[in-house]
Amino acid sequence: MGKNKLAKFEEMKGFEHVVQAPYNQVKNSDSPFKGKWGKEFFGNDNPIILELGCGKGEYSVELAEKNPDKNFLGVDIKGARLWKGAKIAAEKELKNVGFLRTNIEIIGQFFAPEEVDEIWLTFPDPQMKKTRKRLTSTFFLKRYQPFLKKTGVIHLKTDSKFQYSYTRALVHLNAFNVVAETDNLYESEILNDTLRIKTFYEKQWLSRGITIKYLAFQLNEKEWTEPETGFEKDEYRSFGRSARDL
């Protein structure tokens, strides 16, 4: 491990707005913040919004800046990535954004029933070969459902046609309530200040002429099934990140 990464990990330990609890530390125990994120972590009763797979936390930080009356928590397992957002939040003295370093597979151990108001999935890895690893698969949706409020909205923002097509098919197949959907966000009437927030990779996609897709939906109480396979795969890769499965 490089010295720079070690330095980031060490600095992360001193951030009051960062909780580090990877699976090998938590295992089967619940977080002490479960059911208490509002009062004990943020110090208020404002709505709690998660960004799962937040990477460097760019979106979480900007969401917090634009919405001071809401609490935002970016979640990712990569500590060196989270450091970036945590550092910016500390420098800007933002009190309504925090970061949780853990595995999303065990996210249910951190939140009580209906503790979370919204979930953002911003440019997740489409996981074209493994359905179960997709953050919008029924495998993960079943993990979000217990702690997401009944009226809670899940937001997917993606460059991936595969991710969008798969998720849209799943949403319609299971009769979820569609709040908004578009396969070309920046040409859509639903575009607003929140959706205009751009991450490093989103700027890259746009500069290459790749459209941004957006889908917002609410879960229901029914039994869910996966859509049939056969979605067109993405045939491009990002700069500065591992190639996607082709």
Please report where in the chains the tokens 């993405």 appear, as a residue: 234
Q: Mean pLDDT throughout 198-208? A: 92
Rounded CA gap, 42 and 95, in Å?
7
Rounded CA gap, 191 and 237, in Å?
26
Q: Do domains 35-103 and 120-237 have the same CATH topology?
A: yes
Q: What is the per-residue pLDDT for 3?
A: 62
Rama region for 175: left / alpha / beta (φ>0; ψ in -120 to 50; rest): left
Q: What's the pLDDT band for 2 if we cut at 50, 70, 90?
A: low
For the chain, what percent of residues have pLDDT higher than 70? Answer: 95
Q: What's the pLDDT band for 246 if we cut at 50, 70, 90?
A: very low
Strand partners, 156: 121, 215
Of the candidates 30, 117, 125, 245, the residue annotated as catalytic is 125
End-to-end distance of the chain based on CA atoms, in angstroms? 29
Rounded CA gap, 229 and 179, in Å?
24
Binding residues for substrate, as ranges, are: 129, 159, 199-202
Q: What is the per-residue pLDDT for 29?
A: 86
DSSP classification of residue 218: E
Whether the CB-CB separation of 65 and 89 falls below 8 Å is answered with no
Q: Mean pLDDT throughout 188-212? A: 94
Q: What's the pLDDT band for 60 if we cut at 50, 70, 90?
A: very high
Q: What is the per-residue pLDDT for 243?
A: 38
Q: Mean pLDDT throughout 42-71? A: 97
pLDDT at 6 over 90: no
Q: Which CATH number fits domain 35-103: 3.40.50.150, 3.10.180.10, 3.40.190.10, 3.40.710.10?
A: 3.40.50.150
Higher pLDDT among residues 186 and 239, named by residue: 186
pLDDT digits (tens, 9 = 90+) for 21-31: 878 777 778 99
Q: What is the per-residue pLDDT for 240?
A: 53
Among residues 40, 231, 49, which one has the least CA distance to residue 131? Answer: 231
Centroid of chain to Cα 64: 14
Q: What's the pLDDT band for 236 if we cut at 50, 70, 90?
A: confident
Binding residues for S-adenosyl-L-methionine, as ranges, are: 51, 76, 103, 125
Q: Which CATH class is domain 120-237?
A: alpha beta
Q: Mean pLDDT throughout 155-173? A: 98
pLDDT at 128 over 60: yes
Side-chain-facing half-sphere of 150: CA atoms under 13 Å: 2
Strand partners, 214: 157, 182
Domain boundaries, the chain: 35-103, 120-237
Rounded CA gap, 42 and 132, in Å?
32
Side-chain-facing half-sphere of 232: CA atoms under 13 Å: 7
Whether 234 is catalytic: no
Rounded CA gap, 110 and 162, in Å?
30
Higher pLDDT among residues 29 and 178, named by residue: 178
